[in-house]
Structure 1
């Protein structure tokens, strides 16, 4: 029989999650991330201050973009996850940000050369489409989640790893940008830890990012979850490696 602590904590899968706000488990100290040797915010803010027009790709609920104020006079944001759209619009439109739904990243609803800055945190993108909507002297800044991100979760659960994205890393992504005529610079890639200090934090996280284990449910993975729970009880936490990389890119002058 599963212990009462386990049964109580896995009920956290029922807790409400909206936008891209993990504060329920991060601010309470139930999940923690190792530090990167860069700050996405510190990288993009100087560019934002000097931009006249900017696009934020994959804005989530808009929470992060609000922290980058003041924003350029022309600022747009895209979001492809339907539940986030009304949240982002409610938060960003009063700030003058136009929020657009985008279902296909190679079909951005903007004209050619519309932005002199495009920022992108953890959102898919088409290098050719980024090139199309960027001005000739514009800058593209992106932080991406690599294809081996948190695969230990899948391994510990006995769940399939999505092999479709295992190739997605700094080398592959930068090569794709170069093929579209970009000069790629200031690149870094790291694998900091991510720790879960109770099983409830893990199930809450998996509910928030359903692409990690697409068929996840408590019932399907209950025995494996209990094994992870026992690891946490004996070691204090369940640790996995994340995968992040960051790049800046601008169009080559002779392209």
Structure 2
């Protein structure tokens, strides 16, 4: 396929939800060894009331609920983007889940203090640890998998040029944020995993879907660098970068 054909294909794919099945055969991403969905499913089986923050299309949370030995009696989620809210509502309805459409700007959670005994989040844009601590009951647990600092740095610097880099301090900053929220860190793990794009269409779709990678991404703005990416993939067979994932487990 030509450069223009691949760009057009990447632009045509809907970006709603967090279903990445379209990337099959076009891109791969290694997963961290700890297995977030499995861990989440184990903890859900012991919970009575659970909240999933920034649930996206609800696909991942629903998968974890499906692994739980017992579905919690109260299942709630938040989402800030209206198209995802509809998807998540449908995905979580079989588990009695209710999804609250929220303003993602201030991180406020529309729940009373001490409502939940488990709060989860996978790949939140900015997880609201203080709010999570507030809505957790005493002794409640938190399980979050963050997108770590510098995730896919090779990709965004290929397009944007060199960017500020304080990646090495990220884990210490994160640990401090959790502690400052009044939560006790039980486990904190950090992993860098291989990501590989086999065509430009996958790169374009990824950049549209995962907006924080290149926040001002637009094809016209980055056309020259996208053509360079197209040429790189043609020469080398793929473009390789590395995602970063950080697991946080804490208690109130």
Normalized against structure 1, the TM-score is what?
A: 0.89
- Partner Cα distance (1:34, 1:164) in 2: 23
User: Which residue in 2 is equivalent to 1:20?
Assistant: 18
Task: Name the structure 1 match of 2:244.
Answer: 243
Size of the alignment, in residue pairs?
Answer: 245
Residue 47 in structure 1 maps to residue 49 in structure 2: no
Aligned residues of 2:89 and 2:99 also touching (Cα < 8 A): yes
Q: Which of 93-102 and 51-60 deviates more?
A: 93-102
Deviates more, 1:150-159 or 1:171-180: 150-159
CA-based RMSD: 2.1
- Equivalent residues of 1:147, 1:168 under 8 A apart: no
Question: Contact 2:150/2:165 (CA < 8 Å) preserved in 1?
Answer: no
Is the Cα contact below 8 Å between 1:159 and 1:213 reproduced in 2?
Answer: no
TM-score normalised to the size of structure 2?
0.90
Instruction: Give the match for residue 115 of structure 1.
Output: 116
Equivalent residues in 2 for 1:88-103, closer than 5 Å: 88-103=88-103
Change (3 A) 1:102 1:190: same
Q: Which residue of 2 aligns with 1:10?
A: 7
The answer for unaligned runs of 5 or more in structure 2 is none
Q: Are the structure 2 counterparts of residues 148 and 210 from structure 1 closer, same or farther at C-alpha, using a change threshold of 3 Å?
A: same
Query: Please, which runs of 5 or more residues in structure 1 have no aligned partner?
Result: none
Counterpart for residue 187 of structure 1: 188
User: Aligned runs of 1:62-211 on 2, under 5 Å?
Assistant: 62-67=58-63, 68-69=65-66, 70-103=70-103, 104=105, 106-123=107-124, 124-158=126-160, 161=163, 169-211=170-212
Distance 1:105-1:72 versus aligned 2 partners, 3 A rule? farther
Cα distance in 1 between the residues matched to 2:165 and 2:90: 34
Task: Give, in whole Å, the separation in 1 of the partners of 2:95 and 2:141.
Answer: 23
In the TM superposition, what whole-angstrom CA distance separates every residue of 1:58-104 from its partner, at most 9, and x where no partner exists?
Answer: 11011112212252110100011232111112322353111101224
